[in-house]
Amino acid sequence: MSLDSYIAQRFGSRNLQFYHAENLENFRTYCAAGKLLCRGELMNRNPNGFTVFYSDDRDRSLGVLGRAFGNLHDFGSLFQRARKTIPNVYGPIQLIFAPAVFSSMRDICVTPKSIVNLNQDWKQQAFLSEEKIEELLRVDGSHNQINPAFSFCELSCGNNSISLEFLKCVRVEPLRVSGWSLQEIVENELRTYGIHVPVETRSYTRVENRIALQQLVEFCEGLSIPHSREALPLPVNSLPATFQALELPKKKRLVLWCRYFTHGTIKPLRHDAKWEPNEGEDYTVCELCAPGDERPPSKVSYSFIRGGQWGELALGEGHCDWCGGVSVRCESCGIVHPVSDAQYDVPIECDGGCDLRFTVRQEEDGLVHVELMLSIEDEKMLYGYEDEDESPYWCEDEDESPY
């Protein structure tokens, strides 16, 4: 029997599960692929969006970017119940795979701690014999599934991906991000990609830690997100007061949590809030009230207006569902013109080079409407003048106007 087969059999008999923690951006990439991906494949599929880890360069030099990684223990469970701990650095979304997943793995390698911390010695320190695997599984009658001495072990395999067909459930932290619960966000992602597994929210026995974690989320939501995914200037003494009593190494890892969470979850949610309509929907995002960071997107829906001398000019009159502001969309060139209050009663020409002209007016009762104006070309053809001075609507002296 090969070592891979032995591990799959023994882990299956112990009912061990395979855990992998992530943030939203990488989780989406997995869902779209239908697979848990190794770092190298993740970088290839989402080169401009994947969450950058501090260990990526080291993993590259060790030649392990092509291996899929995870754990045999739910690291988030420690923060759920214990004082002076921190949440799982790699993210609040925990993918939990059923024991059958081990039978799909090849070149399985369990190391007592992360490969990046073992450097070039990782193979030498791995559990690469049946005797070593039995040592890993020795629990001496405790409730643990693996030897407590190796609770922070890491499992990697030679697969560059692991099918989500083995996914048993997804466990999320009890967080609200950008006004949404993390459970709702994850459930929506799974629905989008047709993945049917339950999503459960972690229940905390130490309530103070749950409250502190939400405070950390709110702290991250207040940060300015730099363009570079490798950066998030954040000294440890700027962390919320709740975490200042932690030892320095833990605070440094908490800074990593903030960096990964800000780039990996908050940033994509803010990008979503800029909003793109689904096929068949006729909406744009209001540019007058800058939506998206703190609440759901502000949508502008349109009613269709046709005008001009021959009815060929058309625009969409839109009103924001949040601020009520007016936007006018040219149906010829597609340009949207957000119209501020200061632009009411002032003729506006479309920026797209077409002949559309319009005016937004507010009546005494407060109702706002859009009036289509004749284009310059229409005026020339309708009234037969070539110069502005010949226009029947233009008079040097207001008293000379026939109107």
Residue 312 has pLDDT above 70, yes or no: no
Q: Whole-prediction pTM value?
A: 0.69
Contact 282, 329 (CB under 8 A): no
Strand arrangement of the beta sheet that strand 154-157 belongs to: 68-70, 154-157, 109-111
For the stretch 312-317, contacts whose Cβ atoms lie closer than 8 Å and that sit 24 or more positions apart, written own/partner, are 313/355, 313/356, 313/372, 313/375, 315/356, 315/358, 315/370, 315/372, 316/282, 317/369, 317/370
Number of helices (H) and strands (E) in the chain: give both, helices first.
13, 19
Q: In the structure, what pLDDT confidence band is assigned to residue 280 with cuts at 50, 70 and 90?
A: low
Q: List, for residues 17-73, the tens digit of each pLDDT value.
A: 999 999 999 999 999 999 999 999 999 998 888 888 888 888 999 999 999 999 999
Q: In the structure, what pLDDT confidence band is assigned to residue 294 with cuts at 50, 70 and 90?
A: very low
Contact 84, 246 (CB under 8 A): yes
Percent of the chain with pLDDT over 90: 53
User: What single-letter DSSP state applies at residue 359?
Assistant: E
Q: Which has the higher per-residue pLDDT, 269 or 279?
A: 269
DSSP per-residue string spanning 220-289: HHTS---S-TT-----GGGS-GGGTTS-HHHHHHHHHHHHHHIIIIIHHHHHHHH--PPTT--EEE-SSS
Q: List, for residues 323-375, the tens digit of each pLDDT value.
A: 778 888 887 777 888 998 889 999 998 877 777 788 998 887 777 788 877 65
Q: How far apart are CA 377 and CA 348, in angstroms?
A: 16
pLDDT at residue 261 in the model = 95
Query: pLDDT averaged over the chain?
Result: 84
Residues 6+ apart with CB under 8 A from 192: 31
Q: In the structure, what pLDDT confidence band is assigned to residue 9 with cuts at 50, 70 and 90?
A: very high
Q: In the structure, what pLDDT confidence band is assigned to residue 103 with cuts at 50, 70 and 90?
A: very high
Contact 292, 274 (CB under 8 A): yes
Q: If you search the block for the tokens 């939990």, which residue do you land on?
A: 96
Name the token pair of 197: 């597994």
Contact 374, 385 (CB under 8 A): no
Q: In the structure, what pLDDT confidence band is assigned to residue 391 with cuts at 50, 70 and 90?
A: very low
Q: How far apart are CA 141 and CA 272, in angstroms?
A: 49
